[in-house]
Amino acid sequence: MSNVMSEILAQLLKVVEKIKADSKVINIIANHLDPDSIASAFALKHLLRHLGIPNARIRILYCGVPGEKQNEMIIQRFSLFQHMLPLDEFWPKINGNDVFAFVDCSNPNDGRLGAAAGKINPIIVVDHHQNPAPIETEDNFIWVETYGACSTMLTKLLNEVGLMTFKKEVGDDLFVTLLLTLGIYSDTHGLLANVTDDDSTSYFNVLSLSDKQALRNLTNIQDSRVYVETENYARNHCIIDGLRLVACAGYLPSTRKVYVAKLANMMSNWDGITVAVVFAIIDDCNLVFSIRSTDSGLQATLNDVLQRKFKNSFGLKMSDDNLRLEGGAQIHLGIDLAADEKVRDQYLELVTGYMRNIFFGNDLR
């Protein structure tokens, strides 16, 4: 064991002993539902259980919705919703006996935490993002380091304590190694982005312990027919002006909101495009748009102009892999005009004109 790793482990063990001595309930927070976040949450649960915290005093709380189809498939395959609870629903029941762990996130003020934002002081943090994290003291365990995936950090911890074996008889979650494999794979774009030596070592380690057939099934993702139709619509309703693109994805049910971001990701990869904006009118009376830009020099300007236009409904950040700016907004429109098929096209055209003025206009030049 390296000196650094044994120091990290010693601090974790100290905090775990304190949680045990005080009979606290530890709430592991996954503030989004992607493979890395889910894997890290269940791997930490495995670790804490084997360090002596009873199952009944470990809870996984999640934020948001699965969004991407792969996340849905993972959750469904292992019935994960039976083993985690939505933070927003559970938050009112939290009491003085609860303590918190953050995995794959470290910022207590993150908006995804909803009502809990700014109110949690985590006692454990394991994260690979460079976010404003809580300060490490004697009494907490804050491990924030630059790796390709948080799953890599959990893999390292499990290996350090010799807990990389999973047995059904003792109630272990047998799917943890598979989740860790998917977590590292997806956050490093298949070991191609942001990958450190530890990421690749950890990846092959957990891969060798994973069910290959399940892995194939969970990485073979077919686009739904609705997605293909939406993509066709967006391709047919996209306007390009120089290096910029604005595309309308039409009128979507709120369960398909994630398509907007997915299409913006795709279109920002088109040759010659540095800014891609995709928007849709959603049936919950919202105008949703996603913006992607490979020109990081635009960050300040975009932030300025779009904050002014859309206030707090707009947010922009550098992507986890540092490859592009990612942002978006959800603007409440108050009336579901597009529900009326007779005026839908006119309405979408009107909004298209509005978006063109913003993203092709002088303010953002």
Residues 6 or more apart in contact with residue 235 via CB below 8 angstroms: 247
SS (H, E, C) 100-165: EEEECCCCCCCHHHHHHCCCCCCCEEEECCCCCCCCCCCCCEEEECCCCCHHHHHHHHHHHCCCCC
Based on CB atoms, which residue is closest to Mn ion, 150 or 302?
150
Based on CB atoms, which residue is closest to Mn ion, 37 or 268?
37
Residues across the chain: 365
Based on CB atoms, which residue is closest to Mn ion, 36 or 199?
36
Based on CB atoms, which residue is closest to Mn ion, 151 or 230?
151
CA angle, 136 as apex, 316 and 133 as ends, to 5°?
5
Min CB(280)–Mn ion separation in Å: 26
Q: How is residue 99 written in tokens?
A: 């303590």
Based on CB atoms, which residue is closest to Mn ion, 37 or 210?
37
Min CB(153)–Mn ion separation in Å: 10
Based on CB atoms, which residue is closest to Mn ion, 14 or 189?
189
Based on CB atoms, which residue is closest to Mn ion, 105 or 258?
105
Min CB(86)–Mn ion separation in Å: 20
Residue nearest to Mn ion (CB): 36
Beta strands in the chain (DSSP E): 25-30, 58-62, 85-86, 98-103, 124-127, 141-144, 238-241, 244-252, 275-282, 286-293, 314-318, 325-332
Min CB(62)–Mn ion separation in Å: 14
Min CB(128)–Mn ion separation in Å: 6
Task: Tell me which residues touch Mn ion (CB under 5 A).
Answer: 36, 104, 150, 187
User: Using an 8 Å Cβ cutoff, are 336 and 344 in contact?
Assistant: no
Residue 54 has what DSSP assignment?
A: -
Min CB(79)–Mn ion separation in Å: 23
SS (H, E, C) 212-245: HHHHHHHHCCCCCHHHHHHHHHHHHCEEEECCEE
Residues 6 or more apart in contact with residue 324 via CB below 8 angstroms: 268, 292, 293, 294, 296, 318
Min CB(129)–Mn ion separation in Å: 7
Radius of gyration of the chain (CA): 22
Based on CB atoms, which residue is closest to Mn ion, 180 or 329?
180
Min CB(36)–Mn ion separation in Å: 3
Instruction: Give the closest residue to 210 by CA, choosing from 166, 151, 150, 152.
Output: 166
Based on CB atoms, which residue is closest to Mn ion, 187 or 199?
187
Q: How is residue 258 written in tokens?
A: 């994630």
Tell me the β-bridge partners of 279: 248, 289
Alpha-carbon 282 to chain mean position: 21
Residues 6 or more apart in contact with residue 17 via CB below 8 angstroms: none
Based on CB atoms, which residue is closest to Mn ion, 144 or 260?
144
Rounded Cα distance, 172 and 154, in Å: 16
Min CB(77)–Mn ion separation in Å: 20
Min CB(127)–Mn ion separation in Å: 8
